Structure formats: structure tokens, C-alpha cells
Structure 1
């Protein structure tokens, strides 16, 4: 399996599939998952002749579980090092949830010289947590509840989240997939406890308002209007106004887990945007 040893000795696992000479698409995953959560999109695009790359963020999946560096700047510096190692250029970046925040901070922090487009899927920017400047945000107590649940019984918490709001399986008439629940659980339990615990602060409190304003490449934002994890009103509807070249596409009735629940639709939108 391919690994990259980073500047601080952390080992990052990554996948590099498809045609090495094809259009390059780089994926960033959500919390507390890993690159496996993108397998439907990666398989589809690789079969269209693309080169598709996804890494397990530090502390997640098959990557190292360092005690330190669980912050958005370090995440994006790790991604930049992967870009340099693989000499990636003219990339379309795709990020889901926390991974969408990683894409936004990456482009705001490291610029767009290696990227030509970006897609944000149910992404966390501008900032999730409620504050005086963000009164519509999610109260801090909700995220404190996440941390308390992890400390009490992480395994049960990591079953409760996918069984309910993440995939929208708590909605009346939802077609519940035990396979998706177990896959989410498996990926989540592969993450380091401290890494996943500290990432709650990362995805809830990192303010990416200024990063969004800096992004000078076309950005497609996909968001479900029934997203119970990252409500559209405090994410996409705000963030799209900050992007110089942003386009918002709302999935009616769409949950947070668009890449898993709306597979064909997401694949189609990625393919069309890549070729636009």
C-alpha cells in the first residue's frame, strides 16, 4: 500500500487509481471516515479515464495516529506535501463535509496554482458553531455532546450517527442500509481516538470565511436541503455568497451523505463539472 512520510514523520496512506495521464481528481473525506468513503466516485471517474487520488487524513484510516497536529492548517499542509510528492497539477479537488473544509483551507492557504476547479459536497464552511457573529450556527453544546458521547462510549456513538442523521435513516420511509451503517462504523473506529475527538473542534470551530473569498477558480457546491449534520442555511447558502466563482446545486431532500445516498447523481455532477 502506498504511504508518504511527512515532514514530522507521520505516515499518510493514499490511493492513486486510474489513468496516470488522465484528468486528475483529488478527494478529501469527512469525519471520522477515510478515503474508502469516496470509493463509488473514485471507481466511476477512474473508469472514465481519470486519475483519482484520495488520502486518509492524519489520525484517520490507515494513516498514523499522531498525538499532535489535529488542526485544519496541518491537515492542509499534509495535503500540500502529497501534491508536491506526486507532482500534481491542474487538479479538481473534491471534499465532503470536513473534507470540504480541508479543500477550502487548502486553496486559501496554499493558493490555486495546482488546482483548476473544486467541488464542495455538504461542506462545513464558512463556520459551523454558533457565535455572536454567526447566530444561526449550531450551538457549542451540540459539539460538546459529541465529545461527551465519544468519551462515554465511542463505539455506540459511532453506530448512532450513521443509523440516524448522517445518512438520513431517521426519516420516515428511509431505505435503511445496514451495510452503509457498518461501513461508517468500521471507518470511524479505525480513526485514532484523540484524532477524531480533536477533529470535532476542527470541523465545528474553524472559520473559513476569508479562505472562501480568496478562491479564484470555479467551485461547484453540492448540498442537500435535508442535511441534518451541516444544515444548508448555515453552510452552503452563506458560503456560496463568498465565492468569487461559485455555483450552488441543491439536492432536494438530500441528506448529509450525498456521496453514499445519491451516488449516480453525484457522479454525474462531478463528471459534468470536470468537463465543463
Structure 2
């Protein structure tokens, strides 16, 4: 277990030991509705903590304390130009949890954020975490390798990197609708795209390399907290059979919930259902 000495740098920002400032939101219910439960949200690749707004607000109204932060290079957090490996990103998550002195939390990670949450647990232990929720995660491994032939072909990964280097706004314009699904409004899609376009381009490229090279096949077997896994069966970014089905087999006692017809952007397409599932899971007694 690695000790992290983090602090509140100024209102709304946590200072990591390396001097990076992480912007965070800490939404608390009124005292009459508070249930004593805390949920920490880890965002997606390319998006800040604001992506969780349509889960955090109703959950806060139902008595949960909800915290979300911006990954380094994303949103309002510092863009240090380095530190986009999973170990450092997990240490940033630890800085948020320890600076706010959180305990008995439900840790919710989406897409790349699910891998960061897992690395937090294997690197820092479960003392502060009661439950883990993995939403449309990239786990256990995406890329094709000799011992993982069913993974995503490197030509596809390189094609995305080419778009990232040459015309990322166009790539977003072409892929936003498949990401969100057919029932999400154009205004909501525009909101997501605008947040993604504000992310550091360096962070986008470095985080893509981290996600593409991630291999959690052994690590997942060490997760020993109750785990909820949620994924859509129309997820084009992290196909169900490559990710969550395998993750559920590797994590002891994990529970997989599949949303029929849901895309990768399940926090948009199925916002109310996802919020209800997170609330029910976070309310379970240990």
C-alpha cells in the first residue's frame, strides 16, 4: 500500500504530492435526506467529472454525498504534460479520497475510469472502499496480442491515433451519435463533445496509449470488494464480450448487469436506470 499525502490546495482543488491540482465537485444532501453514504465517481477518457451530472444530482437528492473530479489534463485540473500511466492516475484518485478523508465509499468508474479504480484498489488497498461499480469499462484488456488474439486489432487503434493527431473534432462529430445512442438529444451530444474538445490534446494521446496497453487480467482476480458491472450490449467502444463478460468471470463474486440495446455512453442513453442501479448498489449493507 502506498501512502499519499494530499491536501486541499484552494476551494474546489486538491493538490497531489507532485504538485498537480485536481478540480473536484463535492455535492452533499441536506441533513434531512442524508443517508451517510458516499459515492466517488471516476470519469471517462477525454471527459471531466461533469459527465456524471445526471447521476450525481438525483443521487444527492436521494441522500448520497457525491464526489467527482477531473483527471489530470482534463476539465479544470492541471495539465502537467506527464503522469498519464495507470499508477500515477490511481495515485491521483488516492489523493482525492485521502484529502477529503473519505471512507466506506462506493467507487464508480466509467470506461478508462474503471481501470483507474481497479488500480487504486490493488495499489492502495480497500480500507476506504466498500464497493466497486464498473460502468462500460475497458477491462480487462482491449488490444490484440499473441496471448489475447481476440482483442482489438492494432490497425484500428492506429487509425484512431491518426485521427487524434490530424482531426479530432471531425472524429468526434462522426462518432458522437453512435457513442450516445439514437435517443439522446443533439443538445446533450453537443454538451459531451464540447467537454471532450476542452481536454488537453497531450492528455488525450497519452491516455489512449495507457488504455490500449492496459492488461488487468491478473489484477482483477485480487479485487475483494463487492463489485457491480454494468454494460450495454451495443457498446462499440468496449464490446461486451471482450470486456465486462470477461471481467465478471475474473473478479470474485462480481455481478454483471447488461442493458439491452445500450451503447458505450450508457450514462446518457440510460441515465435514470443507471442512477437507480448505482443507488441500489451503494445502499447495500456489507
Shorter-chain TM-score: which interval? Answer: over 0.9
Q: CA–CA distance in 2 between the matches of 1:149 and 1:181?
A: 20
- Name 2:238's counterpart in structure 1: 230
Q: Does structure 2 conserve the Cα–Cα contact (< 8 Å) formed by 1:62 and 1:190?
A: no
Q: Does structure 2 conserve the Cα–Cα contact (< 8 Å) formed by 1:107 and 1:211?
A: no
Q: Does structure 2 conserve the Cα–Cα contact (< 8 Å) formed by 1:109 and 1:211?
A: no
- Name 1:171's counterpart in structure 2: none
Does residue 39 of the first structure (1) align with residue 53 of the second (2)? yes
Q: Deviations over 1:141-164 (max 9, x none)?
A: 21111111011112222222213x
- Name 1:24's counterpart in structure 2: 38
Q: Which runs of 4+ in 1 moved over 6 A?
A: none
Mark the runs of 5 or more structure 2 residues left unpaired by the alignment. 1-10
| SS state at 2:228 partner | strand
Among residues 113, 116, 135, which one is paired with 1:121 in the alignment?
135
Q: Cα distance, 1:176 vs. partner?
A: 4.9
Q: How does 1:123-138 map to 2 (within 5 A)?
A: 123-138=137-152
| SS state at 2:180 partner | coil
Among residues 156, 175, 199, which one is paired with 1:161 in the alignment?
175
Q: Deviations over 1:167-209 (max 9, x none)?
A: 13xxxxx235211221121111111110011111112211112
Q: Cα distance, 1:246 vs. partner?
A: 0.3
Q: Does structure 1 conserve the Cα–Cα contact (< 8 Å) formed by 2:111 and 2:136?
A: yes
Q: Does structure 1 conserve the Cα–Cα contact (< 8 Å) formed by 2:113 and 2:137?
A: yes
- Name 1:257's counterpart in structure 2: 265
Q: Cα distance, 1:265 vs. partner?
A: 0.7
Q: TM-score w.r.t. structure 2 length?
A: 0.91
Among residues 8, 17, 30, which one is paired with 1:7 in the alignment?
17
Q: Cα distance, 1:258 vs. partner?
A: 0.8
Q: Does structure 1 conserve the Cα–Cα contact (< 8 Å) formed by 2:37 and 2:283?
A: no
- Name 2:79's counterpart in structure 1: 65
Does residue 198 of the first structure (1) align with residue 206 of the second (2)? yes
Mark the runs of 5 or more structure 1 residues left unpaired by the alignment. 169-173
Q: CA–CA distance in 2 between the matches of 1:108 and 1:226?
A: 30
- Name 1:182's counterpart in structure 2: 190
Q: CA–CA distance in 2 between the matches of 1:181 and 1:194?
A: 23
